[in-house]
């Protein structure tokens, strides 16, 4: 789908996009560049962020070695809090959930440059609508009158994509044809389905498998009602106003990290495809599908 006025750059007026890639450029005045003594890193809160502090430790040690900086893990509790922390200058390097990337780019000067992928470079997660294995629900159309869990309104797979799907393909309108409930995180939605707090939930693929790997759920207790085409996985990036040498060192740390035997490899091996390396990305091209969903759900982010 071609880029339209609805999906073109919507950067906050505090940022400039001189090269037309839809992402904030570094300030032209070197006096405005930042070189913090400690880098603060946050991982997208699709699940309980405290779980991932140990998972990321090896990588953060590598990031510290390559950049020569101390690195602090920030256990952020929501996409909104993560974006606000970067906008306020308190967060320097982050993973942003797929659907929250446009918000972070437009309103916080987030510069995405990498995502996780398989060894062969393949990537992508799918939006899924799940229910309990013993649920009477057999199709998406049967969600009418039911309790459907979403994560948060900024989430692509956890809200925007399923809302667009339900309205466009099944004629089901939020608040009219089904009851929308918000769990805050994908793991909360999955547990809510298991414990019958919700009739069904919209989640990102792979998370239930990772939870099963930690013994939190049994995937045999869940059944798939719908699965979308692939979306890009969460984006990794940094604040737009970091000193050029520091930004280059951050990118180098991601692309030189040795996944073999690492906690990251063990944690994300359950993803489909297995995520085993970082690869470069283009926000302008690879996130167009996400911006199109934003346009279809009238949730284009504009900060002006």
Span 156-163, average pLDDT:
94
Q: Report d(CA 164, CA 216) in Å as an integer.
A: 30
Residue with tokens 């050029």: 244
115, 239: one domain: yes
**Do 140 and 95 reside in the same domain of the chain?**
no
Q: Are residues 94 and 148 in the same domain?
A: no
* Structural domain includes residue 163: yes
CB 52 within 8 A of CB 43: yes
The Cβ of residue 285 has, within 10 Å, a number of other Cβ atoms equal to 12
Helix and strand counts by DSSP (H, E) for the chain: 11, 11
| Domain membership flag for residue 186 | yes
Residue 122 token pair: 């393949």
270 and 146 within one domain? no
What token pair was written down for 20? 């037309």
Residue 4 burial (CB count, 10 A): 12
Question: pLDDT, tens digit, for every residue of 79-118?
Answer: 889 999 999 999 999 999 999 999 999 999 999 999 999 9
Q: For residue 78, name the pLDDT band (cuts at 50, 70, 90).
A: confident
Question: Same domain, yes or no, for 195 and 177?
Answer: yes
More confident call, 199 vs 271: 199
pLDDT at 3: 44
Residues 106 and 55 in one domain: yes
Tell me the β-bridge partners of 247: none
In a domain, 15, yes or no: no
Q: Which of 204, 231, 258 is the last residue of a domain?
A: 231
Q: Which of 184, 205, 231 is the last residue in one of the domains?
A: 231
The average pLDDT across 170-192 equals 96
Confidence band, pLDDT 50/70/90 cuts, at residue 301: low
Residue 9 lies in a domain: no
Structural domain ending residue among the three candidates 203, 231, 259:
231
Q: What percent of the chain has pLDDT over 90?
A: 76
pLDDT bin (cut points 50, 70, 90) of residue 300 is low
pLDDT value of position 170: 93
Assign 303 a pLDDT band (cuts: 50, 70, 90).
confident
Are 44 and 95 within 8 A, CB to CB? yes
pLDDT of amino acid 7? 42
240 and 115 part of one domain: yes
How far apart (Å, rounded) are the C-alpha atoms in residues 23 and 110?
Answer: 8
Domain count of the chain?
2
Domain that holds residue 223: 125-231
- CATH code for the domain in which residue 145 is found: 3.40.190.10
Contacts of 109 (CB under 8 A, 6+ apart): 12, 14, 15, 24, 86, 87, 239, 240, 241
The DSSP secondary-structure symbol of 173 reads P
Give yes or no for residue 34 having a pLDDT over 60: yes
- Which residues, 6+ apart, have CB-to-CB distance to 265 below 8 Å? 259, 276
- Does 97 reside within a domain? yes
Give the integer Cα–Cα distance in Å for 139 and 105: 36
Per-residue pLDDT tens digits for 187-222: 999 999 999 999 999 999 989 998 998 899 999 999
pLDDT at position 83: 95
76 shares a domain with 57: yes
| Whether residue 87 is found in the same domain as residue 66 | yes
pTM: 0.80
Average pLDDT over every residue of 41-67: 89
> Tokens 């692509």 identify what position?
156
């Amino acid at each position: 789908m071609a880029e339209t006025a609805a999906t073109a750059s919507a950067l906050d007026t505090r940022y400039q996009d001189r090269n037309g890639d839809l992402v904030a450029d570094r300030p032209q005045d070197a006096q405005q560049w930042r070189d913090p003594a400690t880098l603060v890193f946050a991982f997208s809160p699709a699940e309980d962020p405290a779980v991932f502090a140990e998972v990321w430790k090896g990588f953060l040690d590598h990031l510290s070695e390559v950049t020569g900086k101390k690195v602090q893990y920030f256990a952020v509790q929501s996409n909104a809090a993560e974006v606000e922390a970067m906008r306020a200058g308190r967060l320097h390097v982050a993973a942003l959930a797929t659907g929250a990337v446009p918000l972070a780019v437009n309103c916080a000067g987030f510069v995405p440059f990498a995502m996780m992928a398989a060894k062969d470079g393949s990537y992508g997660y799918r939006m899924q609508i799940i229910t309990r294995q013993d649920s009477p629900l057999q199709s998406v159309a049967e969600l009418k009158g039911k309790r459907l869990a979403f994560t948060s309104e900024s989430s692509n797979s956890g809200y925007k994509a399923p809302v667009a799907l339900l309205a466009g393909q099944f004629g089901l309108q939020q608040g009219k044809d089904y009851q929308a409930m918000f769990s805050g995180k994908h793991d909360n939605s999955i547990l809510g389905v298991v414990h019958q707090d919700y009739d069904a939930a919209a989640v990102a693929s792979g998370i239930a498998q990772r939870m099963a790997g930690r013994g939190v759920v049994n995937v045999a207790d869940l059944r798939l009602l719908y699965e979308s085409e692939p979306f890009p996985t969460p984006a990794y990036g940094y604040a737009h106003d970091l000193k050029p040498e520091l930004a280059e060192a951050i990118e180098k740390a991601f692309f030189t990290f040795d996944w073999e035997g690492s906690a990251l490899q063990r944690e994300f091996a359950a993803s489909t495809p297995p995520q085993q390396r970082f690869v470069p990305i283009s926000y302008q091209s690879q996130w167009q599908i996400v911006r199109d969903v934003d346009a279809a759900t009238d949730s284009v982010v504009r900060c002006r």
